[in-house]
Amino acid sequence: MDGAKLEGKTVAEHIVDFLERREVKHVFGLCGHTNIAVLAALAESPIDFVTVRHEQIASHAADAYARVTGTASVVLSHLSPGLTNCATGVANAALDCIPMVVIAGDIPTHYYGKHPHQEVNLHADAAQWEIYRPFVKRAWRVDRADLMAEILEKAFHLAESGQPGPVLVNVPMDIFSEVIPLDSFDRIRDNTRALKKPSIDDETAREIIEALAQADNPVAYVGGGILLAQASEELREFVEHMGLPVAHSLMGKGALRDDHPLVLGMTGFWGTELVNQSCLNADYIFAVGTRFKEADCSSWYPGYTFNIPGSKVIHIDIEPQEIGRNYPTEIGVVADAKAALRVLNRVAREMYPDGFKRPALEQKIADFRTDFKARNVEMATSSAFPMMPERILADTRKALPEDAIITTDVGWNKNGVGQQFDILTPGSILTPGGFATMGFGPPGAIGAKLAAPDRVVISLVGDGGFGQNPSMLATAVELDLGIIWLVMNNNAFGTIAGLQKAHYGLTYGTTFPGSAAAPANGPGYADIARAYGAEGHRLSAADELLPALEAAIASGKPTVLDVPMINNPTPTTGHWNILDIYSPDKDVSHVAT
């Protein structure tokens, strides 16, 4: 050790100490000349650095990791192209309210504005941090080493509190290497690491219970806020006591197990008739942890998913901006879902000890499920090859244990999964809801597996989505992560191909050459997997899928299953406003192929 190290430590070393004290176990990222001081400090730490081949993989993996652990994940990025590569995953996390702290290296402070290597300086000097402003909760450029302790602490607090989300701590590389006193972080050492969350008062709770008790057709409508607050148990207790049927947004999927007798299903574009009709007929909508966004509300057109006004809205959310944004709200409450539901459960039991039972409603839900399954059975058992998407989903559900973690991408794997794939453990589906990012699922599975190594992790992904980030296989193989990537290969950006066909009668720029059965020039995903050192299998008959999945689970090896699939759109009873943009005055259905 040299003399300077005896009296101080570099900022990079302090940062790593701080992360250790916060019990961070993994940092996701990619190197560059601006962040190797941090990597050198990480090399001496029990924290594992998960190195990737593209920064988007780091941010998607970190996003999924935070979804599973429930705490802020950490990304370490290089400057400029590293940070912009990383941006899509950070924005994806932001739109789904996922806590994340991105630490990025930047040009040295003494070269601000001189155009040092890779500086972003077109509108302001050393301005790369501003690129993140529209999607992070806050971006800091750290211009003085002695501010690092309090900025890092604020960064974690902000990422995890209120409506969670990513933050950026942008650090000029000379600051990482500055030596500061050993006690520089002492003043924050004894601060609490977690903040208490806001709840609801008894008076408002009574008002809500009374409104729901008097309602004829109340419906609970829940979103990802339930899962972020880890409030599934409190939700279950409340809806069972009040006899409320439960509709959910895409992000709210799995808030209650899908086979719970009160679950209606996912609303919106890809909702079923039961859920959309139940919401339309509701006199009260009891909404928790949701933002009523377009896809979940059939573009807010009356008559498809919600009929508001008409139905009255009670809305509980941690973020005031979400309340009343799209629909008039009768009672709005800013509160954490878990804290609020705890109070509501206590007050409901005080006011109505016997609770409410709606056997006719439960029967209606059960009948619909039986009927839906019966209507789907032909497709769900079809031996057609390329396979029917319904059969792929049915066989996958059969092969997986109840607590398997499923990452989706966008396409059939998200819309069809939201509609007809039962999630049986809260928080076990990770989906890119707000940003709908093609390419999220495969690297997301890496983060999920690192966070929950003992659980089966599968990425359901389209061929388009898999093509976005195949180099994530390098990381999975290096870390020997037994993940399964099931490529639902319809040889197309199928979801968009379906829309284009419906409105323009063609598929130009939306399908790939060749066919799903015999891709003339298409990539061989199984070959790609094997080239990276993973297992890779291309299926040649529908009956091969279930055994292939079982074998992949049993092997515990990283495995890509390339599954040829018919390019049929996900059926829907909802509505999407783009119909009126592309085909005004025509009765075009997005179900058409």
Ligand X SMILES: Cc1ncc(C[n+]2csc(CCOP(=O)(O)OP(=O)(O)O)c2C)c(N)n1
Which residues of this protein are in contact with Mg ion, per CB under 5 A? 462-464, 490, 492, 494
What residue 409 binds from Mg ion, ligand X, none (CB within 5 to 8 A, per partner kind)?
ligand X
Compute the 3-state secondary structure of the chain and give helix, strand, coil in percent, each to the nearest 5. 45, 15, 40
438 touches ligand X by CB under 6 A: yes
104 beta partners: 77, 170
User: Whole-number minimum distance, CB 463 to Mg ion, in Å?
Assistant: 4
Residue 223 or 462: the one with the smaller Cβ distance to Mg ion is 462
Radius of gyration of the chain (CA): 25
Which stretch, 144-152, 219-227, 431-439, 585-593, contacts ligand X (CB under 6 A)? 431-439
What residue 164 binds from ligand X, Mg ion, none (CB within 5 to 8 A, per partner kind)?
none
Cα–Cα distance, 588 to 572 (Å, whole number): 13
436 touches ligand X by CB under 6 A: yes
CA-wise closest residue to 220 among 192, 203, 253, 245:
245
In 107-230, where do the E strands start and end? 139-141, 166-172, 179-181, 218-222
What residue 418 binds from ligand X, Mg ion, none (CB within 5 to 8 A, per partner kind)?
none
Residue 164 or 411: the one with the smaller Cβ distance to ligand X is 411
What residue 560 binds from Mg ion, ligand X, none (CB within 5 to 8 A, per partner kind)?
none
User: CB–CB of 143/109 below 8 Å?
Assistant: yes
Residue 129 or 493: the one with the smaller Cβ distance to ligand X is 493
Q: What is the dihedral sign for C-alpha 136, 137, 140, 146?
A: negative
Q: Name the token pair of 531.
A: 């080239």
What residue type is 485 in one-letter code? W
Using CB under 6 A, count the residues that bind ligand X. 19
Q: What is the dihedral sign for C-alpha 207, 213, 216, 218?
A: positive
Residue 387 or 492: the one with the smaller Cβ distance to Mg ion is 492
Residue 200 or 487: the one with the smaller Cβ distance to Mg ion is 487
- DSSP per position, 5-26: HHHEEEHHHHHHHHHHHTT--E
What residue 407 binds from Mg ion, ligand X, none (CB within 5 to 8 A, per partner kind)?
none
Residue 180 or 486: the one with the smaller Cβ distance to ligand X is 486
Q: What backbone phi and psi angles, to 5 degrees, belong to 537?
A: -135, 135
Residue 420 or 475: the one with the smaller Cβ distance to Mg ion is 420
Which positions from 394 to 423 touch ligand X by CB under 6 A, shown as an x/- string?
---------------xxxx-----------
What residue 410 binds from Mg ion, ligand X, none (CB within 5 to 8 A, per partner kind)?
ligand X
User: Whole-number minimum distance, CB 414 to Mg ion, in Å?
Assistant: 12
Which residue among 496, 546, 553, 588 contacts ligand X (CB under 6 A)?
496
- Return all residues near 567 (Cβ < 8 A) that are at least 6 apart: 490, 491, 492, 494, 497, 498, 511, 516, 593
Vertex 481 angle, CA 439 and 92, to 5°: 25
Which residue among 156, 269, 292, 493 contacts ligand X (CB under 6 A)?
493
User: Whole-number minimum distance, CB 493 to Mg ion, in Å?
Assistant: 6
Restricting to residues 444-483, which ones interact with ligand X according to CB under 6 A?
462-465
Q: Which residues bind ligand X (CB under 6 A)?
A: 409-412, 436-439, 462-465, 488, 490, 492-496
